Amino acid sequence: MDDIKLRDMSKPFSKQLIELQNLMPLPAPYDQPGMEPALKPTKDTWKETYCTSVDGIVANDKLIKPKTKEEEQEMIKKFLSGLDKLFSDDTNRGFLKPFMLGVDYCAKCNTCSEACHIYKASGEKEIYRPIFRSEVFRKMYKRHKMGRSLLSQFAGGDIDINIESIMRLGELAYRCNLCRRCAQTCPLGLDNALITREIRALFSMELGMAPVALHEKGTMLQLKAGSSTGINKAAFLDLIEFMEEDIEDRIGRRYKIPVDKKGADILLIHNAGEYVTWPENPAAFVILFEEAGLDWTLSSELIGYDSVNYGIWYDDSQAKKIALAQRKAAKDLGVRRIVIGECGHAHRAASVSSDRMAVGEDNVPRESCFPILWEIVKNKVIDFDPSRNNFPVTLHDPCNIVRSMGIVQPQRQIVKALCPQFREMSPCGVNNYCCGGGSGFAVMNNQNFREWEAMVASRMKFKQILEAFKDTVADPGIVKYVCAPCSNCKGAMRDVLEHYQATAKFNVQYAGIVELMVNAMTKNDRPFFEFLED
């Protein structure tokens, strides 16, 4: 099975390129027989509809097999026109330079493979090498531009452009977390993650084929309703009211949460998924910001209450629309700065990815929450008692915040200051491994993709967690806390800990950083974490 050739990408759909077997072994206690849940078989109906012939998994549920020859030809035609658009300074202005560099200069030294958590965790499956996808794409482009000539074969244009290779490429674009760890090791400074992202962009922007969770129920819903969760303004205001009550129930104090406060210093924007899935996180922000006496507000205006921007993972057009709508919400409120809550891709989307998309009044400064939170701890603005967090804690570094933004120390300093049993994962900081939920995987729950996410994409992170807690992991009486200061990373933690029943069996918990801070507040007379209550 390992003898996969690049040309196999254009073989008939009946050939599945790999089987997901012999994955990277996990450390104790998951080194025992029966600890690895079996992957469910691929359903025949999926095989008929989607492209399951890569590895039996379906990620892109809009990548549907054409039913007629005409549809097939149309799809091929659009793929080729999209290819041309990726290489045009008219239609791919934002990424042309880094993209062309990546396509033109790869030396095929394969240094990137060793850095890739998916390749390593899969048991080194050929198709998951960062270079595999890029090289297939490169060969298809050469075939498109140079035809079947001898010169084309000589230059590497030796993969047929047919419906099989196109669909496999579109599906394979969702086997990379875009974490960019591979790019750190490239001697030529090239980025396979960017090429992957561009393939996704081609399929979305030209063929209209992006996973439903990212597009229809993601960016499209966000632009229409205000949030990818579907929460509209009225629902958001209800949630805020509920949160005020919930905070009072938890800590015995009530705070009036500022919403749409004109001219506030800070507009705080959370990943709206927090309100639904982990409401204790925005609640902890309320407690900390109010106790610290900050002049802040939330927005209830369209998109102003949801920091997510799935567009940065797959579609330039959607990314820009959302980024500008978030700036507008801030500008309309007249705030001085936007502060992004604990969400990695939202950090990067607002601060870095969209930095060159607005000027003048629209160019509202954007800031991470972590320097503010560290100031609160460092300057003792609030009294904390670290002994309240006296359980093993490790810190996950979200790729978008660390590797792609350079925010490494503030969150680390907070955890070091407030958690006596803090221990780093290895590697950490800018050399971290992705949680496995990056680039949208944590929100994609279609067919069997979540199983793949947990078993393969998050496997390296799970291994790191087990190793960080190796002294106590087998003892369910001891709480082990993975601090994941990012919504999508938390989603990945949820998925992998559930998949391996690590919370139920070994008391491995996960949440963000503000929850740890509030749990350590001396002013509170009971733990903020439910799992600490008897």
Partner 1 sequence: MFLTLFSYLAIILFIGFSVYKAIQFAKMPLSNRWELYPVPKEPGARAHYGGSYYEDLEWWQKPRHVSHAGEIIEMLKEMLFIKILFVNQQRLWWISYSLHLGIYLLGLWTVLLLAGAVTELAGHSSLQMMSNTSIWAGLVYYAALTAGAAGAVLISIGSLGLFLKRLFNSTMSKYTTLQEYFNLLFIFAVAVSGLVVWSGDPGFNYGREIMKGLLTFSPIKADIALAVHILLLGALLIYIPQTKMSHYVGKYFSFHKVLWDNEPNLRNSSMEERVKSNLSYKPRTSWSAPHINPGSSTPADK
Site for partner 1 contains 225 (CB under 8 A): no
Candidates 26, 106, 284, 513; binder of partner 1 (CB under 8 A) is 106
Cβ atoms of 121 and 457 closer than 8 Å:
yes
Window 141 to 200, contacts with partner 1 (CB under 8 A): 153-156, 180, 183-191, 194
ω into 29 cis (within 30 of 0): yes
Query: Nearer to partner 1 by C-beta: 187 or 293?
Result: 187
Candidates 404, 458, 509, 519; binder of partner 1 (CB under 8 A) is 404
Window 341 to 360, contacts with partner 1 (CB under 8 A): 351-360
| Residues in binding contact with partner 1, number by CB under 8 A | 87
Stretch that binds partner 1, among 43-51, 77-85, 165-173, 507-515 (CB under 8 A): 77-85
Query: Nearer to partner 1 by C-beta: 91 or 446?
Result: 91
Site for partner 1 contains 375 (CB under 8 A): yes
Candidates 15, 40, 108, 253; binder of partner 1 (CB under 8 A) is 108
Question: ∠ CA(116), CA(218), CA(355), 5° rounding?
Answer: 70
Q: Which residue has the tokens 């007629």?
A: 68
HEC-encoded secondary structure of 406-418: CCCHHHHHHHHHH
Min dist. Cβ of residue 13 to partner 1 (A): 22
Work out the end-to-end distance of the chain between its first and last CA atoms, rounded to an integer number of angstroms: 51
Strand order in the sheet with 480-483: 422-423, 393-395, 480-483, 508-511
The percent helix, strand, coil of the chain (3-state, each to 5) is: 50, 5, 45
Candidates 83, 205, 267, 455; binder of partner 1 (CB under 8 A) is 205
The contacts of residue 67 (CB under 8 Å, 6+ apart) are none
Site for partner 1 contains 76 (CB under 8 A): no
The contacts of residue 479 (CB under 8 Å, 6+ apart) are 391, 392, 507, 509, 531, 532
Site for partner 1 contains 429 (CB under 8 A): yes
Window 11 to 70, contacts with partner 1 (CB under 8 A): none
Query: Nearer to partner 1 by C-beta: 27 or 429?
Result: 429
Q: Which residue has the tokens 């001697």?
A: 187
Query: Nearer to partner 1 by C-beta: 23 or 80?
Result: 80
Window 109 to 128, contacts with partner 1 (CB under 8 A): 109-111, 113-115, 126
Min dist. Cβ of residue 310 to partner 1 (A): 13
Site for partner 1 contains 406 (CB under 8 A): yes
Q: How many CB atoms lie within 10 A of CB 376?
A: 18
Spatial CA neighbour of 485 closest among 344, 350, 380 = 344
Candidates 9, 60, 122, 135; binder of partner 1 (CB under 8 A) is 135
